[in-house]
Structure 1
Amino acid sequence: MTGPAAHTFTIAAVPADGVGTEVVTAGRAVLDALAAASGGAFAFDWTEFPWGCGYYERTGRMMDDDGLDALKGFDAIYFGAVGWPSVPDHISLWGLRLRICQNFDQWANVRPVHFHPGITSPLRKADDTPLDWVVVRENSEGEYAGLGGRNLSGRGPGNEVALQTALFTEKGCERIARFAFELARGRERKKVSSVTKSNAQQYGMVLWDETLSRVARDYPDVETESVLVDAMSAKFVLRPEDLSVVVASNLHADILSDLGSALAGSLGLAASANLNPERRFPSMFEPVHGSAPDIAGRGLANPIGAIGSAALMLDHFGLSAEAGRVRAAIEATTAAGVLTPDVGGKAKTGDVVASIIDQLSS
């Protein structure tokens, strides 16, 4: 009989909608198996919250009014996916995921782009070129600041005006730039690629460019480039071997990271971390994919994005060796051909989870 763990991490699980419930269950199983094999070194204490579109249909709210207060005391948040056809997307996103990100100042969104063995990429270059990069997304302002409004509807049909204002602050640009440069210092290729559109957006993105350029002077050991977002989308396809850390605004990084995951084989593979680096609030870890209503409840969801997000959470907890073990177990599973349909296989969600847990134990 074992005693209490040396350290217990408290985690708020928010599966939310669709396949989110399936992949959070998968990730929890992997983390609990890892803890059970740790010899009492660590454990996870889970509290699950029922928020999401189903909760909205019952209550008119995506989460409890005091939900943020309920989450504040946890070490981390493990999130599934938000969205369902019966609820408008802007309500579901702003009512839950963005509400958490914005209020907990989770300003650094880290999205690795990783090419797994055994998974065929649509990018021919991936067959014989080592590819591995990470997208760092400014996660608190930019195009998703939520500033603007709709007016003049009283003038009659066809006369309403909508304003959506992107917010760029020097503080926001500087802190995400320094985060990207510090991350690059720890990688084999010490390079930061800044994504911009300052030729057309002459205010906010010029401030972004100027701030990135100023911060770069503090990192003479890190190679730096500035690339227009349209050119960067082409570079993801044509010259991905030249990428290491890509830092971009909220909208640009959101789009580019999805492109990167598609090039790796599937959005179902993509992990992410929404970080409050100062640790004033809990950080949130989630797969990049959506709620996938078309396959929800059928056991077909790819759990690798969620399990990779769990590995990022382990890194955040200082359990880097354990995070490495989870990533190695994922690699061994894909290399063995245990693949869900989105990456050309026939395995069910549970098959992938069982394989990863088996690889952990071996």
Structure 2
Amino acid sequence: MTSTYKIAAIPADGVGTEVVDAGKRVLAALQERHPTFALEWHDFDWGTGYYEQHGRMMPEDGLEQLRGMDAIYFGAVGWPGVPDHVTLWGLRLAICQGFDQWANVRPVTFHPGVPSPIVDAHERELDWVVVRENSEGEYSGFGGRNFGGREGSGEVAVQSAVFTEAGTERIMRFAFDLARTRDRKKVSCVTKSNAQQYGMVLWDDVFARVAQDYPDVETEKVLVDAMAAKFVLRPEDLSVVVATNLHADILSDLGSAMAGSLGLASSANLNPERRTPSMFEPVHGSAPDIAGQGIANPIGAVLSAALMLDHLGHPEEATRLREAVDKATGAGVRTRDVGGAATTEEVVEAIVAGL
């Protein structure tokens, strides 16, 4: 039986348009070979181009247009000439917060044939997941700029990190539940409670309380600076890493760089209760320096599509996508950012052949 899903495609800016197109073509090939699912695409031209015409990144009723979708497939947002905080808060964060996509999942995967700056990375079987609290913390948007009328350097900016017990507990439980599905049942909690004595101490207290409900899961608490070092020096000791919005954002990029390139990194912005559609996107950004040249790495977008298939209830098809990616990289078909010379199209063709 074939299940049909309504998917919103928002390529947005720069290489986002190229990698979303690449991902859609790979999904079409997978669907043709394994017709257990069908994707009904709904394309939205929101992004910086839309902003230049309308003064906003998406329509006022944008969330309502997306609400009936089964998932959102996102490209990348941002373009020179428009401040990054305008583009980010006007589109991606507007969707994440508007739909309460509170769990961000970013796997760190080392692919065959992709060189890593970590010595013997492929022999060490490194594989972990960063779980990012995606709705509050340092990116809550609480604060403001004041005293702009003062002479000299008199302006003041306040950016408040907001942590709630409810928000902290749900991301902790999500991380523990994920750890139970992995070979290494371990959760590493990232904190900075030695210096941030309110929000981060609450984070620590909730982690300790939640951990009592998961006696089968190994735990550790690591300060964020020490965890950055651990990513590089002892990554084999990691399985599930749970961290705040800002800390996980930085650490997951570090992990992807260790695996070879941000172009490989996938992510899922989940509303685990499925009250609203979840969103799947590569991590790499809009990359204006290479946009339009046909050399963007599509793997992050393809692997984000695999996360989307997992979420939609098709883990076998998601596994086929991941295996096809590994076949392509293992055969040496790699874009410039991972030491190759292949074009976006050539990588797509190799992944499709690997299916």
Task: Provide TM-score, normalisation by structure 2.
Answer: 0.99
Supply the distance in 1 between the matched residues of 2:276 and 2:28 (Cα, whole angstroms): 24
Tell me the residue number matched to 1:351: 346
Report the Cα distance in structure 2 between the residues aligned to 1:243 and 1:330, rounded to whole angstroms.
23
Structure 1 CA distance for aligned equivalents of residues 191 and 2 of structure 2: 46
- The structural deviation recorded for 1:127 is 4.3
Does residue 289 of the first structure (1) align with residue 275 of the second (2)?
A: no
Q: CA deviation at 1:86?
A: 1.1
Shift of 1:51: 0.5
Question: Partners in 2 of 1:155 and 1:306 — Cα distance?
Answer: 47
2:71–2:277: 8 Å Cα contact kept in structure 1? Answer: yes
Deviation at 1:154, TM superposition (A): 2.0
Please, which moves more after superposition, 52-61 or 228-237? 52-61
Per the alignment, residue 225 of structure 2 pairs with 230
TM-score by length of 1: 0.97
Match for 1:92: what amino acid?
T
CA RMSD of aligned residues (A): 0.8
Residues 1:177 and 2:181 are matched in the alignment: no
SS of 1:126 mapped into structure 2: coil
Confirm or deny: 8 A CA contact 2:112 2:122 kept in the other structure. Answer: no
Instruction: Report the CA distance between 1:6 and its aligned residue.
Output: 2.6
1:209 aligned partner: 204
Matching residue of 2:107: 112
User: Which has the larger displacement, 151-160 or 133-142?
Assistant: 151-160
Percentage identity across paired residues of the two chains: 72
Partner of 1:248: 243
* Residue 158 of structure 2, aligned match among 150, 160, 163: 163
260, 263, 273: which one pairs with 1:265?
A: 260
1:81-230 to 2 correspondences below 5 Å: 81-230=76-225
Q: Deviations over 1:76-110 (max 9, x none)?
A: 00000000011100000000000000010000000
CA distance in 2, matches of 1:230, 1:46: 42
1:16 is aligned to 2:12: yes
Query: Distance between the aligned counterparts of 1:127 and 1:32, measured in 2?
Result: 31
AA matched with 1:72: R
Shift in Å, 1:130 = 1.0
Q: Which amino acid in 1 is paired with 2:141? A: G
Contact 1:17-1:83 at 8 Å conserved across structures: yes
Q: Is 1:339 aligned with 2:334?
A: yes
Deviation at 1:297, TM superposition (A): 0.4
Gaps of 5+ in 2: none
Q: 2:64 aligns with which of 60, 69, 87?
A: 69
What is the aligned partner in structure 1 of residue 271 from structure 2?
Answer: 276
What is the alpha-carbon distance in structure 2 between the residues aligned to residue 165 and residue 192 of structure 1? 27
| Residues 243-292 of structure 1: per-residue CA shift (max 9 Å, x gap) | 00000000000000000000000000000000000000000000000100
Give unmatched runs, 5+ long, in structure 1: none
* 3-state SS, counterpart of residue 124 of structure 1: coil
Equivalent position SS for 2:9:
strand
Q: Secondary structure at the match of 2:149?
A: helix
In structure 2, what is the Cα distance between the partners aligned to 1:357 and 1:83?
29
For residues 319 and 136 of structure 2, the distance between their equivalents in structure 1, rounded to whole angstroms, comes to 32
For residue 122 of structure 1, give the secondary structure of its aligned residue in structure 2.
coil
Equivalence map 1:20-31=2 (5 Å):
20-31=16-27
Q: How many residues align?
A: 355
Aligned to 1:58: 53
Q: Given that residues 110 and 122 in structure 2 are in contact (C-alpha distance below 8 angstroms), is that contact kept between their aligned partners in structure 1? A: no
Task: Report the secondary structure of 2:241's partner residue.
Answer: strand
Are the aligned partners of 1:142 and 1:167 in contact in 2 as well (CA < 8 Å)?
yes
**1:36-84 C-alpha deviation (Å, 9 max, x unpaired):** 2224x32100011000011111111100111000000000000000000
SS for the counterpart of 2:116 is coil
| CA deviation after TM superposition for structure 1 residue 125, in Å | 3.7
Shift of 1:7: 1.6
Residue equivalent to 2:315 = 320
Deviation of 1:155 (Å): 1.9
In 2, distance between residues paired with 1:125 and 1:339?
20
Q: Is the 8 A contact 1:195 1:232 kept in 2?
A: yes
What amino acid sits opposite 2:142 in the alignment? L
Asked whether the 8 Å contact 1:36–1:43 carries over to 2, the reply is no
The superposition leaves residues 286-338 of structure 1 with CA deviations (integer Å, 9 ceiling, x where unpaired) of 00001000000000100000000000000001100000000000000000000
